[in-house]
Structure 1
Amino acid sequence: MDGTESGWTVVIADDHPLVRDAMRHALMQSLNDVQVVDASSLDEAKAAVDRLGAVDLVILDLNMPGMDGFTGLAAMRAAHPLVPVAMVSATNDETVMRRAIEFGAAGFIPKSAPLETIAEAIGQILDGQVWLPIPRNAPSSGTGTSRQDIASRLGELTPQQLKVLSMMSQGLLNKQIAFELGVGEATVKAHVTAILKKLGVHSRTQAVISARLLDFKTVD
């Protein structure tokens, strides 16, 4: 990224104004003619992408309202698979970083990173690369092929199916999920059937175990 490109559109989604300001400064430092749209929740970020149509990058806070761990990332990727997503978080846990990449993030940027590093990360992501503050080929702890396979299967779920799966993992029954979503119970049953099929499991319990990958929480 040489800073000569123009006409970039970036959505910054974080519930902390200071973080949004820092990201905005980094964008101004690395890009020319950039339009920055702020959002303070996942719903606001998704609405912004829907409204704008052409977005070059979405920057998502891992722990802002609506994210529910990695569910928000998976939902954004399912709704807009062609838009690269960079995750930001206060955590420096390598396992969390790698898991974000497994769920489709194009990069993971610690909030503690200097502005120059943030600018470099954003530039590489916009160039089509995957950016991590750690070597991608470094040994990982607890990240195996089965987890990657499950992450890939979870990525095939629609945004509505992700919502249903999240509610299932909270112990809600079909009737309760139907009430929360404002749909019929038959619709929820259809979603559950589709979820089980896509995840390659045979019971709600197995689906919930898979969903625990999405519920990895960090302190922000």
Structure 2
Amino acid sequence: MAGRKLPHRIGCRTLEMQCLFFGGIHPQPTWFPLHNPTVLDFLDKYMIKPENINSSFDAKTMKTSKTVLIIDDSRLSRMIIKALILEKYPDWIVLEAANAEQTITMIDSIAEPDLITLDVNMPGMDGLSLATKIRNSWVSAPIVVITANVQESISRKCAELKVGFVEKPINADSIDKALAFME
């Protein structure tokens, strides 16, 4: 923080930021004194600054970051995959679903992601059946199975479905292999 001029007070108009940092919302724009370096560092890193706004930006034709959808019944696996992706690409949007039901609901409400990762063994609909369903809605989204189930029948089925296949454990190398399917 040395050498950086920080405002003593900052105006927050965003409900999300108020909820996140201040535990509630206020009906009018409000000034809050900030003395917490962690909050200030976060704001410096993630707030849009006027000098960084391109006036010719068209949100309909430009995409500023990639979107990845992680589908895995294991919360720990989702957390690790998300952390490894965001470590490498902090501006990407990472969405999560714990099962096929959540994924099918998301299909109707979000734009096609740039990459979908999914596990094979999940309760209810398995990952390969879900991959087939996803293909019906999101034709061009690359799908990669990240699984500990390394049976030849699984890898063969992935090849038939034109779905990538990456073996667990989840680590930086396996995530790099999964991300390579976006190219």
Instruction: Give the shorter-chain TM-score range.
Output: 0.5 to 0.7
Structure 2-normalised TM-score?
0.59
Q: CA deviation at 1:24?
A: 0.7
- 2:165 aligned to 99, 102, 108, which one? 108
Residue 174 of structure 2 corresponds to which residue in structure 1? 118
- The structural deviation recorded for 1:6 is 5.2
AA partner of residue 175 (structure 2): A
Return the alpha-carbon distance in structure 2 between the equivalents of residues 32 and 6 of structure 1: 12
Q: Give the letter aligned to residue 91 of structure 1.
A: N
Which structure ranks higher in relative contact order (CA pairs < 8 Å, sequence separation ≥ 6)? Answer: 1
Residues 152-202 of structure 1: CA deviation (Å, up to 9, x unaligned): xxxxxxxxxxxxxxxxxxxxxxxxxxxxxxxxxxxxxxxxxxxxxxxxxxx
Separation (CA, whole Å) in 2 of partners of 1:38 and 1:120: 19
Report the alpha carbon displacement of residue 73 of structure 1 after superposing the two structures with TM: 1.6
3-state SS of the aligned residue for 1:108?
Answer: strand
Q: Note the 1:144-183 alignment, pairs <5 A.
A: none
AA aligned opposite 2:96: D
The letter of the residue matching 1:9 is: T
Which residue does the alignment assign to 2:80?
A: 22
Aligned residues: 121
Give 1:88's aligned residue: 146
Greater helix content: 1
Match of 1:77 in 2: 135
> Residue 68 of structure 2 contacts residue 92 of structure 2 at CA under 8 Å; is this kept in 1?
yes
Compute the displacement of 1:15 (Å): 0.8
Tell me if the contact between 1:109 and 1:121 (Cα under 8 Å) persists in the aligned partners: yes
Match of 1:45 among 91, 103, 118: 103
Query: Residue 13 in 1 paired to residue 68 in 2?
Result: no
Distance of 1:75 and 1:49 partners within structure 2: 10
Structure 1 contact 58–85 (Cα < 8 Å) conserved: yes
**Divergent runs of 4+, >6 A:** none
Structure 1 pair 82–69 and aligned structure 2 pair: CA distance change class (3 A): closer
Q: Closer, same or farther in 2 for the Cα pair 1:99/1:54, shift >3 Å?
A: closer
Whole-angstrom CA distance in 1 between matches of 2:143 and 2:110: 15
Encode CA deviations 1:59-92: one digit per residue, 9 max, x unaligned.
Answer: 1111113324632221111221111111121112
Counterpart residue type for residue 57 of structure 1: L
Aligned partners of 1:42 and 1:67 also within 8 Å: yes
Q: How many Å separate the matches in 2 of 1:104 and 1:44?
A: 23
Q: Which residue of 1 aligns with 2:47?
A: none
RMSD in angstroms over aligned alpha carbons?
A: 2.1
In structure 2, distance between residues paired with 1:69 and 1:45 = 11
